[in-house]
């Protein structure tokens, strides 16, 4: 009687991100071709494990995914099995359904669950590992704010998209003598704003790690005017706040594990700047444009490396680990590292130092 093939499952959770499909492709192809494993795709993140929705993947399902944005498996950022939202008597209640998830994983008969996600997804994965579910994590976020890894896939693509947007607003800013404010993603960490701001030649870069002073931002705009530069480019991360103030909250999603949705700080700053600097201001919010479309070559390569390494970790029985980039090497680290809070931009980061030396303002001079 032929021996039944071993199998693994793949899950993608949290926000979508360029390169997820490239990771799915790498995990599935290596598992099938080199290791002889069956591969099961869990639909819509942990919601699929809670509700028992999954599909068997074959080689045809994962071919042609390298350049495709999004995730073929679907995702969810509101399905924490330890705090699962359900309606009861017309109100929202939260239940712990983690035991059901663990039972469903066992029922699938998989050797391991490969979780692709950010700090929320991998934080849940770490808890499930503690509850006995064999898990390997893969770091995913455009924000690049996961602890335990030097870089996450999706970040390079987001920076490229944001940089192109900054390039494009330069001409209209110069033509109309305006301050153009480009709001990029970055709830708690300013990696996208910093890298895209420097790459796009931003005159002022505002990040969550450095609360801004309005007078300092206005002073930079006025100083440029005196030198005959009658326009300014401001790049601001969505989670940035004024010194002594609060971040601008767009809405609250009650059933989400991370309910606060930032956004709109660019419009607030624009109104303030018009009064403080006496200049016309316009704001562009990039939002989910940064998440969409085909990944860059760098993200395709990184996604392939991380996916392949995850399968190696599964075969070696290295569960409760996350594959990561450390010092240019692809390694594994404990899942708990990813759940240890955001990896913020250090105030002495070399790119901040270099940008300041070239005259870039970070809004903290006053």
Residues involved in catalysis:
143
Tokens describing residue 139: 């770091």
Backbone phi, then psi, for 221, in 5-degree steps?
A: -65, -45
Backbone phi, then psi, for 346, in 5-degree steps?
A: -65, 140
Residue found under tokens 């050797």 = 111
- Give the DSSP H/E element, type plus range, for residue 249: strand 249-252
Angle at 142 between CA 141 and CA 144, to 5 degrees: 75
Side-chain-side CA neighbours of 270 within 13 Å: the count stands at: 18
- For residue 141, the tally of other CB atoms under 10 A from its CB is 28
Q: DSSP for 96-123, please give it.
A: --HHHHHHHHHHHT-SEEEEEE-HHHHH
Of 165, 122, 197, 127, the C-alpha closest to 288 is 165
Chain CA centroid to CA 69, Å: 14
C-alpha to C-alpha distance for 214 and 195, rounded to whole angstroms: 22
C-alpha to C-alpha distance for 80 and 298, rounded to whole angstroms: 31
On whether the CB atoms of residues 345 and 194 are closer than 8 A, the answer is yes
Of 308, 288, 293, 290, the C-alpha closest to 67 is 293
Helix (H, G, I), strand (E, B) or coil at 331: strand
Between the CA atoms of 164, 166, 168 and 172, what dihedral angle is there, to the nearest 10 degrees? 180
On whether the CB atoms of residues 189 and 345 are closer than 8 A, the answer is yes
């Amino acid at each position: 009687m032929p021996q039944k093939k071993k199998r693994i499952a793949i899950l993608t959770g949290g926000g979508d991100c360029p390169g997820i499909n490239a990771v799915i492709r790498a995990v599935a192809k290596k598992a099938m071709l080199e290791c002889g494993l069956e591969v099961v795709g869990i639909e819509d993140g942990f919601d699929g494990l809670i509700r028992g929705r999954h599909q068997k993947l074959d080689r045809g399902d994962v071919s042609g995914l390298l350049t495709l944005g999004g995730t073929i498996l679907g995702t969810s950022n509101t399905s924490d099995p330890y705090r699962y939202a359900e309606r009861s008597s017309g109100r929202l209640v939260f239940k712990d359904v983690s035991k059901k998830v663990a039972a469903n994983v066992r029922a699938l008969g998989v050797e391991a669950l490969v979780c692709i996600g950010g700090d929320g997804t991998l934080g849940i994965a770490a808890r499930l590992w503690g509850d006995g579910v064999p898990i390997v994590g893969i770091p995913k976020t455009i924000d690049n704010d996961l602890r335990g890894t030097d870089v996450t896939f999706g970040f390079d693509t987001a920076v490229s998209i944001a940089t192109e947007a900054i390039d494009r607003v330069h001409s209209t800013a110069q033509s109309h003598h305006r301050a153009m404010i480009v709001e990029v993603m970055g709830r708690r960490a300013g990696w996208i704003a910093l890298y895209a701001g420097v790459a796009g030649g931003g005159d002022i870069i505002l990040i969550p790690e450095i609360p801004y002073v309005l007078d300092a931002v206005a002073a930079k705009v006025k100083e440029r005017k005196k030198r005959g530069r009658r326009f300014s480019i401001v790049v601001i991360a969505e989670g940035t706040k004024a010194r002594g103030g609060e971040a601008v909250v767009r809405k609250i999603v009650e059933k989400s594990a991370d309910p606060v949705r930032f956004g709109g700080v660019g419009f607030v700053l624009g109104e303030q700047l018009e009064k403080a600097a006496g200049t016309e201001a316009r704001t562009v919010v990039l939002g989910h444009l940064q998440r969409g479309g085909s990944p860059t070559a760098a993200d395709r390569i990184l996604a392939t490396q991380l996916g392949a390494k995850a399968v190696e970790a599964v075969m070696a029985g290295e569960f409760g680990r996350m594959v990561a980039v450390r010092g240019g090497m692809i390694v594994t680290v404990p899942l708990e590292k990813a759940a240890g809070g955001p990896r913020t931009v250090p105030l002495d980061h070399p790119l901040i130092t270099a940008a300041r030396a070239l005259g870039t303002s970070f809004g903290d001079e006053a």
